[in-house]
Structure 1
Amino acid sequence: MLLTCTAGSLARVLIQNLLLSSTIGITTATGIATMSTEASNCAAGLHSIAYVTTPNEKSAKELARKIVEQKLAACVNIIPGLTSVYEWEGKINEDHETLLMVKTRTSRVDDLSKFVRENHPYSVAEVISVPIENGNPPYLEWLSKTVPERKTN
Structure 2
Amino acid sequence: MKDGRAFRVVLCTAGSEEEGARIAKSLVEQKLCACVNLAPGVRSFYRWEGAVQDDAEVLLIIKTTQEKLQALSDHLAEIHGYDVPEVLAIAVDQGSASYLEWLAESCAD
TM-score by length of 2: 0.95
**Which runs of 5 or more residues in structure 1 are unaligned?**
1-38
Offset from partner CA, 1:64-107 (integer Å, 9 cap, x none): 00000000000000000000000011111110000100000012
* Distance (whole Å) between structure 2 residues aligned to residue 116 and residue 58 of structure 1: 15
3-state SS of the aligned residue for 2:20? helix
The aligned counterpart of 1:44 is 4
Classify the secondary structure of the residue corresponding to 1:71: coil
- Match among 77, 80, 89 for residue 49 of structure 2: 89
Q: Tell me whether 1:64 sits opposite 2:24 in the alignment.
A: yes
- Once residues 86 and 74 of structure 1 are traced to their aligned partners in structure 2, the CA distance between those partners, rounded to angstroms, is 29
Question: Higher helix proportion, which one?
Answer: 1
Higher relative contact order (CA 8 A, sep 6+): 2
Alpha-carbon displacement from aligned partner over 1:126-150 (angstroms, at most 9, x marks no partner): 111101101111000000111127x
Matched residue SS, 2:84: coil
For the pair shown, the structure with the greater C-alpha radius of gyration is: 1
Q: Would you tell me which structure has more strand in proportion to its own residues?
A: 2
* Counterpart Cα distance in 1 of 2:47 and 2:69: 25
Name the residue aligned to 1:133: 93
Aligned mates of 1:72, 1:88 — CA distance in 2: 29
What is the DSSP-based 3-state SS (H/G/I as helix, E as strand, rest coil) of the residue aligned with 2:94?
A: coil
Q: How many residues align?
A: 109
- For the aligned residue pairs, the C-alpha RMSD in angstroms reads 1.3
Q: TM-score, normalised by structure 1?
A: 0.69
Match of 1:119 in 2: 79
Runs of 4+ in 1 over 3 A off after TM superposition: none
2:60 is paired with a residue of what secondary structure? strand
- Corresponding residue number in structure 2 for 1:11: none
Tell me the SS of whatever aligns to 1:122: coil
Q: Match for residue 105 of structure 1?
A: 65
